[in-house]
Amino acid sequence: MQSGYRDDLLRYHVILAGRSGPDKDPALAAPPAGAGAAEFWRSPLSQPTPWQSKPGSPGFNRRDFAAFGVLVALVLGLCLYGLGNRSIWLDEAVALRIAQTPGWDAVMSDGGNMALYYLFMRAWLRAGDSLEVLRLPSVLFSAAGAGLFYLLVRRLFDTRTAVMSALFLGVNSSFVYYGQEARSYALVLLLVVAAWLALATGLETKNPGWFLLWGALNAAAVGSHLFAVLMVGAQGASLLLLGRKDLPIKWLAAGALVTSVGSAPFLLAAASRGSVQIGWIPPISAASFRQVLWFLGGNNFEPGAAWFSELAGVVVLVVVVAAAAAGTWLTTRALARYGRSLQAWRYGVAVLWLAVPLAGAVVVSATVQPLLVPRFFTAVLPAVCLLVALAVSLIPRPASLIALSLLVGLSLVGVVRSYSTGHWGWDRAAEHLAEVSRPGDPVVILPAHDGLSLGYHLKKGSAYESMRILSPRESTWRPPEPTVYGVSEAFFAPTSPEHAARQAELHDRFWLVTADYTRWDASGRVQEAWGEASGFFESLDPQFRVRSGEAAGRVGVLLVERSPESGRSVPADRPPG
């Protein structure tokens, strides 16, 4: 690509920023026809761009409304499709349990993490607790987040870039996947995008209300997930790209104060709790960093997928890395040409939105506590999509249209693939258990905390009340009040699978439902087991044999009986000691 073309493109983007003029660069004094750039910052929502019907028309025109509506409808459609197909899994079951538990202590029991989401879900659950009802808020948050992201990018650049950015976000498989999960990730994305939009509008209008709203949105984001602290850091770092005359110091400080005060209860709860709630995160490694990059590229499916899905994912990931480099280059050029200004800030938004959370998570993971969990970066996905859109805009037409079509097509491959991932199979395990078990049969669940997931689906069936669920912590409990799996310390520090084996031995037969891999020979002796199932079978009396097993997704349902030749019998209705 010729350097002259790149310079013209950079001038075009800066013209859209509304800061052109003879005082900066005489070559920018006459904007291209239709750019409508001189008044770009004047409208609270938008200004005319080359895609609009005629320069100078205020606000949205019909084409803008159509693009906005189609993008929101696309996100709604992709997130609503198959919304209840996946069985509930541990994190969703924990969110449901916390939301159903009364009291502020329950909401803050996860160290202040997701507290506002739990409060919202407590009210939302009055509509029911089906999978579709549980996950619908995330669908709505995702659609709203995509819509606000369109408005943000249109304010920063133009309609064409906004359409491409929001389209890339809407077909990002990681975005769609967590838009279907009953957790706070979609809500955090919505709040972070809204905070960026409020900041951009405040810098434009110098209206104090926007800065106060910016602070409140950031506090709400932190209250919805503590990882959002790094997103707030990205916004703070972006202010370093602004000149003194562009910074309303007093109102920025007021917004920061609102964020600090609003975030304090959640951060103090996290500090008092320590790292208990995130102690499961593995140490930082090249593999964990690679998984985060893979996620940001919109590849939310497991390794070993169909070769075409893998190839599509690799191509999109390469494009994302190239786009990050292009965005950094644009920001550097804008800084070199115009210094610290709104022009440089607008490009720096995308770069810092991606770089600060990623670098911050790496530093914290290496020095304090591991944080490199791909889904934590859901609120960073808009920055990636904006960088990709900016990179595509550097390509002259019609090549840019071809690149756009290819990227959308490859991303949709990941979306289709994501619909078939994440199926733990707790619903199928519950159905099978209800069909084959006898009334009063004891059931052992390993790992213990998965009793929440299995119990959710079991209670939908008629056999639920007749089952005796053996808990590794208590002797027995009967649904629907499995308090051991609530929001107490017991959830984070369950007793050992060896204790569960001692309880199981009090019965002649029991069902073992486990997500841990288990393999046995023809005689029923366990040959190999992983995770808690390994400790369970090592402690179990060798007289017990696996008589049958059924795979339900990632979950196994095993019938374990005492060998008849042992000559020992325990009444089935005898309570464990």
**Helix, strand, or coil (residue 517):** coil
Which residue, 375, 390, 418, sits at the end of a domain?
418
Using a pLDDT cut of 90, give the percent of the chain over it: 36
Query: Residues 12, 13, 16, 17: what is their CA dihedral angle, to the nearest 10 degrees?
Result: -130
In a domain, 55, yes or no: no
User: Are 364 and 511 part of one and the same domain?
Assistant: no
User: Are 338 and 374 part of one and the same domain?
Assistant: yes
pLDDT value at 75 more than 90: yes
Q: Which of 439, 310, 285 is nearest to 372 (CA)?
A: 285
Most confident range, picked from 121-130, 297-306, 478-487: 121-130
What pLDDT score does 69 carry?
Answer: 93
More confident position, 297 or 474: 297
In a domain, 34, yes or no: no
Which residue, chain included where needed, has tokens 């979950």? 555
In a domain, 1, yes or no: no
Least confident of 238-252, 320-334, 380-394: 320-334
User: Are 260 and 348 part of one and the same domain?
Assistant: yes
C-alpha distance from residue 382 to each of 16, 297, 527 (Å): 21, 11, 47
Least confident of 76-90, 340-354, 451-465: 451-465
pLDDT band of 394, cuts 50, 70, 90: confident
More confident position, 106 or 296: 296
User: Are 532 and 561 part of one and the same domain?
Assistant: yes
More confident position, 96 or 506: 96
Phi, psi of 514 (to 5 degrees): -145, 145
In a domain, 550, yes or no: yes
pLDDT band of 12, cuts 50, 70, 90: very low
User: Are 133 and 225 part of one and the same domain?
Assistant: yes
User: Are 437 and 352 part of one and the same domain?
Assistant: no
**Helix, strand, or coil (residue 445):** strand
User: Are 126 and 253 part of one and the same domain?
Assistant: yes
pLDDT band of 58, cuts 50, 70, 90: very low
Q: Which spans in 171-285 are helix H?
A: 173-178, 185-205, 208-224, 228-238, 249-273
The string of pLDDT tens digits covering residues 154-174 is: 999 888 899 999 999 999 999
Give the domain extent around 301.
Answer: 86-418
In a domain, 549, yes or no: yes
The string of pLDDT tens digits covering residues 184-208 is: 999 999 999 999 999 999 998 899 9
What pLDDT score does 276 carry?
Answer: 60
Phi, psi of 93 (to 5 degrees): -65, -40
Give the CATH number for residue 507.
3.40.50
Mean pLDDT of 545-566: 84
Most confident range, picked from 37-51, 209-223, 409-423, 480-494: 209-223
Residues 6+ apart with CB under 8 A from 72: 143, 144, 146, 147
Mean pLDDT of 313-338: 80
Mean pLDDT rounded to a whole number for the chain? 78
| Residue 150 tokens, joined | 């369109």
Which residue, 418, 436, 459, sits at the end of a domain?
418
In a domain, 275, yes or no: yes
Mean pLDDT of 175-179: 95
What pLDDT score does 310 carry?
Answer: 60
pLDDT value at 549 more than 90: no
pLDDT value at 555 more than 50: yes
Which residue, chain included where needed, has tokens 């990227």? 407
pLDDT value at 224 more than 80: yes
What pLDDT score does 539 carry?
Answer: 87
pLDDT value at 230 more than 60: yes
Residues in the chain: 577
C-alpha distance from residue 103 to each of 7, 118, 211, 276 (Å): 59, 11, 32, 21
pLDDT band of 466, cuts 50, 70, 90: very low
Please tell me the total count of domains within the chain.
Answer: 2
pLDDT band of 331, cuts 50, 70, 90: confident
pLDDT value at 517 more than 80: no
What pLDDT score does 366 carry?
Answer: 93
pLDDT band of 495, cuts 50, 70, 90: low
Cα–Cα distance for residue pair 166/171, rounded to 1 Å: 9
User: Are 404 and 438 part of one and the same domain?
Assistant: no
User: Are 494 and 520 part of one and the same domain?
Assistant: yes
Q: Which of 529, 457, 438, 173 is nearest to 320 (CA)?
A: 173
Q: Which H, E and C letters describe 132-150, residue by residue?
A: HHHHHHHHHHHHHHHHHHH
More confident position, 136 or 310: 136
In a domain, 559, yes or no: yes
What pLDDT score does 491 carry?
Answer: 31
pLDDT value at 215 more than 90: yes
pTM of the model: 0.83
What pLDDT score does 152 carry?
Answer: 95
pLDDT band of 568, cuts 50, 70, 90: very low
The string of pLDDT tens digits covering residues 60-72 is: 678 888 999 999 9
In a domain, 56, yes or no: no
Which residue, 418, 441, 465, sits at the end of a domain?
418
Phi, psi of 260 (to 5 degrees): -65, -50
User: Are 381 and 434 part of one and the same domain?
Assistant: no
The string of pLDDT tens digits covering residues 522-533 is: 777 777 777 778
Most confident range, picked from 100-109, 251-260, 366-375, 447-456: 251-260
Cα–Cα distance for residue pair 391/411, rounded to 1 Å: 16
Mean pLDDT of 87-109: 87
pLDDT value at 567 more than 70: no
User: Are 160 and 252 part of one and the same domain?
Assistant: yes
User: Are 413 and 452 part of one and the same domain?
Assistant: no
